[in-house]
A and B are shown apart, each in its own frame.
Chain A
Amino acid sequence: MTEVLKHVSIDYYIYLSTILFCIGVMGVLIRRNAIIVLMCVELMLNSVNLLFAAFSAYRGDANGQLFVFFIMVVAAAEVAVGLAILVMMYRNTKSVDVSLLDKLKH
């Protein structure tokens, strides 16, 4: 598996992850639907996972892959809390549009 990975230069993995990460960032900043914002956050975290796995394979060092497992666990916990907050918000506003959240600006 490592051999197959190494046929592709590490640069391409960095470019791919950076592009995915930027798509995630743009999604968080632009989209107004809270569920899609959550998906974009996941995209950001997964692009980081890809990057860690690629670096790990190229350097022959297990630490990066170890990191990926922890990121996946934490991302799951985070999404669980995020969806709970989303449900709470939906109960009060009957909408998942984050632009409705402007009551605190005086």
Chain B
Amino acid sequence: MVAIIILAFFGVILLFAGIFDMRKSIMPIGVLAILMALVFTLQDIDGLFNDYTNMFLFDTFARAFTVVCLVSTLLIFLLGGEFLKDDIHHKGDKYALMLFALCGAITMLSAQNLLMIFLGIEILSIPLYILAGSQKDDMHSNEAGMKYFLMGAFATGILLFGMAMIYGATGQIQLSAIWTNVIADSYNHNLMNVGIIMLIVAFCFKISAAPFHFWSPDVYDGTPTLFTSFMATVVKTAAFATFFKLFLTCFTEIGGQWTTIIAVIAALSMVLANVTAIYQRSFKRMMAYSSISHAGYLLLALISLNFKEGQSAILLYLAAYSMATIAAFTVFTMIQQQTGRSDFEVFNGLGKRKRLLAVTMTIAMLSLAGIPLTAGFFGKYYLFSIAIHQYMPLVIIAILNSAISIYYYFRVIVAMWFKESEHHAISLETSPIYSMVAIVTSMAIIVIGILPSIVIELFW
């Protein structure tokens, strides 16, 4: 809770810093805000707000995922120092909007109430609609903003309808009270079923799982790359963790009714996304499909119906996924800014010219593909091992799909190390910030890959 107050306060300060022409100090202020929020999150100083636990409880679950979101945003802020360098007029606004979105993410993660979940989702989404369309003269960014907005508003409508049905079925909006009604079997079954299905549809829109994923390749592609990496990491983490928490707090006892739907959605997401990703020519679209397939793997945690094991599994998976995605986007942003292109050929011969970046990209791709000794391997391993007792065939599909995904992740690696660069003999310039973020993320991937328990033992 203290973290939210700090982030909102500094968000407002950044807006003023934008007005009063303090361009140089905007990024450091943002970084300072996140570091302070991180300290308060890790220290667990929350005695101030113990009276509101029916609405909002900053428990271990919320703290763990908040840390993932904060670290991702911190790295994205550092990248922003370079990415938004030429943005004279709106730099402060963009940082402020990211901080506000982060407040929404933390609200969602600590919500104890359907109302707070709804508010959190909206506080997270509304700033992102603006960020997606923030390049005002670029048609692609316009299109991404409009599509993201329409999709988001539509999903919100469905989410609310689901919540209204749950409220109608149980008469409660508090998660623990809904759970009490569910185990006492004192609810209206028809309304409850409609409500659960609507909630699944809405959350699948938000985490972009197939068949509700159609918006995400376009939005990821059109959005300025810095904000794409924010969407792919922070939004995914917050939305998925909330989805997991809501369903496994309230509806575990009637799991038989909805796990089949989730299983079908998971299988569809994995198969569709991995097969489509092979045919992509743009790196950003490939990353969008990759993020859809990761949503599919993550849904295995819901099917396991095991809150205790599931939360550590998704924490590890999301931490690994966020680090790898940020590492990949760091390298890609740097190349895209200097060449202005986003196809796979830009990576040709990178291994010879910029060894550090090529190594970072390789580690990121290996981790996303789930190769041992990287963080992604243990993420997948824990996730598959908790789901294997419930849905054996689905885990087999997931393993086969990880094999398919190796094909398109390795395309980037092959291009970097084994292909000669044809077009641009121009030398790429690496700024120290990019190198720093690249080193930090690749170190994180390898450390988590060797000692996965440190992430989990930090909280549980």
The residues of A with any CB-CB pair to B shorter than 8 Å are 14, 17, 21, 24-25, 28, 34, 37-38, 41, 44-45, 47-48, 51-52, 55, 59, 61, 63-64, 66-67, 70-71, 74, 77-78, 81-82, 84-86, 88-89, 91-93, 98, 101-106
Contacts and interface: CB of A to CB of B under 8 A. Distances in A.
Nearest to A50: B164
B120 to A, nearest CB: 11
A61 B118 CA distance: 19
B281 A106 contact: yes
A82 B153 contact: yes
Contacts of A28: 150, 154
Given A52-B164, A85-B149, A106-B281, 7 more contacts: A14-B191, A41-B153, A52-B167, A55-B164, A77-B122, A98-B146, A104-B218
A104 B133 contact: no
Contacts of A59: 171
For chain B, give the interface size range.
Answer: 35 or more
Nearest to B171: A59
A14 B142 CA distance: 38
B115 A66 contact: yes
A61 B167 CA distance: 10
Given A55-B168, A64-B167, A106-B282, A70 B115 contact: yes
Interface string B152-194: 0110111011011101100111000000000000000001000
Contacts of A82: 129, 149-150, 153
A101 B144 CA distance: 9
A10 B15 CA distance: 48
Contacts of B93: none
Contacts of A89: 142-143, 145-146
Contacts of B144: 104
B30 interface: no
Nearest to A84: B130
Given A41-B153, A92-B139, A48 B164 contact: yes
A81 B265 CA distance: 31
A45 B157 contact: yes
Contacts of B172: 63
Given A88-B133, A88-B145, A21 B167 contact: no
A67 B161 contact: no
Contacts of A84: 130
B89 to A, nearest CB: 15
Contacts of B221: 104
Contact of A48 (B149, B160, B218): B160
**Closest 8 A-B residue pairs measured CB to CB?**
A44-B157, A48-B160, A51-B164, A101-B143, A104-B218, A55-B168, A41-B153, A59-B171
A59 B203 CA distance: 27
24 contacts: A14-B191, A25-B154, A44-B160, A44-B161, A45-B160, A48-B160, A51-B165, A52-B167, A63-B172, A64-B167, A67-B114, A78-B156, A81-B149, A82-B129, A82-B149, A84-B130, A85-B142, A86-B146, A88-B133, A88-B142, A92-B139, A103-B140, A104-B218, A106-B282
Interface string B206-235: 000000000001100110000000000000
B146 A78 contact: no
A67 B173 contact: yes
- Most chain B beta-carbon neighbours within 10 Å: one of A77, A82, A93: A82
A36 B164 CA distance: 24
Contact of A14 (B122, B129, B168): B168
B119 interface: yes
Contacts of A77: 122, 126
Contacts of B422: none
B137 interface: yes
